[in-house]
């Protein structure tokens, strides 16, 4: 009930008429990529995330994760490759998160690493299914799309623009969709 | 060494490196691994259109845009310096099926018959590129995340809603690849 109350709280407008959306319910439905850090850094600190992204992009291409063929083989059970990639990544991720929690490892700026439980809603079912349908057509989830453009397949920019349009359409109809 | 790096990397190397992105982002600054949120930031930055879902301080999530820019740069590096000189190996059954749809060029990671600007002017290409992209964007936000946010980050933190999402991603993929895509590829 608390969350419902927060939903109707009127947010103050700031200078450029944009509401700073601090509504937790809106954010939790979209609980990915939350910036948990409370410390404000100069913008160029973000280059460290670019460095991580570069490693990720190289792996994407060299392990052929961005390949349309590998995705088709995964969904037709013709290759173990993608199952191996995702499975290994999850195992390494689980161990890492366990270690961080167990030994209370802090960030490089000394902050406590924050985790938030994800709330279940029907979007994970309906949206997940729609995403899966799209994934098998394009042979790419959002990350690989950017890597595909990097390898010189420029027409994928159209796919990215269409994905942005899809995201916008979701935002437009969000209150009418079952969650 | 360079010759070895140019070959396709095995799944266990790639999987381990991707898994390590989770603690890397957490320890660099409390950031949760996820990519599809960038599509939302793009909406919030460019076309918020007074929609509540896009009225938030996207600049606070700037790190995510840097991360995605890194993916793009990494792919350029891999394609320029570490390109595999050989054609992509495709499962024989898949290759035989694709011949039936006129898809035979496997010199690149993406089949040239499907992923060129010219294919935008065919019904098949338009449905796949524009329709597929739309589903990816709509579905990932509706589900609250994509493969990275749910299947990797969510499962790493043992979140059962993320398991539900991951199972549905796979279900959608199986349905599309086996039952719907054959019709689209025949267009």
Mean pLDDT along residues A146-164: 97
pLDDT higher than threshold 70 for residue A3: no
Contact A25/B at CB under 8 A: no
Contact B171/A at CB under 8 A: yes
pLDDT higher than threshold 50 for residue A5: no
The mean predicted confidence, pLDDT, of chain B is 95
Distances (CA, A) of A49 to A30, A44, B6: 20, 10, 25
pLDDT by residue (tens digit) across B155-182?
999 999 999 999 999 999 999 999 999 9
For residues A131 and A40, the model is more confident at A131
Are the CB atoms for A177 and B139 separated by under 8 Å?
Answer: no
Mean pLDDT along residues B14-35: 96
B129 band by pLDDT with thresholds 50, 70 and 90: very high
For residues A16 and B13, the model is more confident at B13
Mean pLDDT along residues A1-23: 40
A19 band by pLDDT with thresholds 50, 70 and 90: very low
Tell if the CB–CB gap between B94 and A130 is shorter than 8 Å: no
Residue B167 is predicted with a pLDDT of 97
Rounded CA separation A63/A7 (Å): 44
Contact A40/B at CB under 8 A: no
Q: Which residues of A touch B141 (CB under 8 A)?
A: 30, 127, 166-167, 170-171
Which range, of A2-16, A134-148, B126-140, averages the lowest pLDDT? Answer: A2-16
Residue B60 is predicted with a pLDDT of 87
Rounded CA separation B15/A82 (Å): 9
Rounded CA separation B89/A73 (Å): 11
pLDDT by residue (tens digit) across A66-111?
999 999 999 999 999 999 999 999 999 999 999 999 999 999 999 9
Cα B142 versus chain centre, distance: 16
Rounded CA separation A118/B161 (Å): 6
Residue A39 is predicted with a pLDDT of 72
A32 band by pLDDT with thresholds 50, 70 and 90: very low
Residue A14 is predicted with a pLDDT of 40
Can you give the C-alpha Rg of chain A in angstroms? 19
H helices present in chain A, as ranges = 2-7, 24-29, 47-62, 68-75, 81-102, 123-138, 142-150, 156-173
Contact B185/A at CB under 8 A: no
Which of B4, B12, B123, B138 should be substituted to probe chain A, the one whose Cβ sees the most A Cβ atoms within 10 Å?
A: B138
Residue % of chain A over a pLDDT of 90: 73
Block residue for tokens 């079912």:
A125
Contact B122/A at CB under 8 A: no
């Amino acid at each position: 009930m608390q969350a419902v109350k927060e939903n109707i709280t009127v947010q103050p407008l700031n200078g450029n008429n944009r509401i700073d959306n601090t509504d937790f319910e809106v954010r939790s439905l979209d609980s990915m990529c939350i910036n948990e850090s409370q410390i404000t850094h100069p913008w160029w600190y973000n280059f460290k995330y670019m460095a991580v992204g570069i490693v990720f992009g190289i792996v994407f291409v060299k392990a052929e994760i961005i390949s349309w063929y590998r995705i088709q083989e995964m969904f037709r059970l013709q290759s173990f490759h993608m199952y191996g990639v995702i499975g290994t990544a999850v195992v390494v991720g689980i161990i890492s998160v366990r270690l961080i929690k167990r030994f209370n490892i802090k960030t490089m700026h000394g902050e406590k690493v924050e985790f938030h439980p994800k709330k279940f809603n029907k979007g994970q079912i309906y949206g997940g299914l729609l995403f899966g349908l799209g994934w098998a057509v394009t042979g790419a989830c959002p990350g690989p799309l950017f890597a595909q453009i990097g390898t010189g397949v420029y027409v994928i920019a159209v796919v990215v623009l269409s994905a942005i349009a899809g995201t916008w359409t979701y935002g437009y109809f969000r209150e009418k969709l079952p969650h | 060494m360079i010759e070895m790096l140019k070959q396709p990397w095995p799944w266990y190397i790639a999987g381990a490196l991707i898994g390590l992105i989770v603690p890397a982002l957490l320890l660099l600054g409390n950031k949760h691994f996820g990519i599809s949120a960038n599509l939302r930031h793009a909406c919030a930055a460019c076309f918020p259109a007074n929609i509540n879902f896009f009225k938030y301080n996207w600049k606070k999530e700037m790190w995510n845009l840097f991360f995605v820019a890194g993916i793009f740069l990494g792919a350029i590096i891999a394609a320029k310096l570490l390109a595999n000189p050989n054609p992509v190996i495709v499962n024989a059954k898949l290759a035989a099926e694709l011949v039936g749809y006129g898809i035979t060029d496997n010199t690149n990671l993406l089949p040239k018959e499907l992923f060129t600007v010219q294919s935008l002017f065919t019904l098949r290409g338009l449905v796949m590129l524009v329709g597929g992209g739309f589903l990816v964007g709509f579905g990932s936000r509706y589900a609250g995340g994509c493969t990275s946010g749910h299947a990797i980050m969510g499962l790493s933190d043992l979140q059962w809603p993320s398991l539900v999402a991951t199972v549905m991603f796979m279900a959608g993929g199986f349905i599309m690849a086996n039952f719907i895509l054959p019709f689209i590829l025949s267009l």
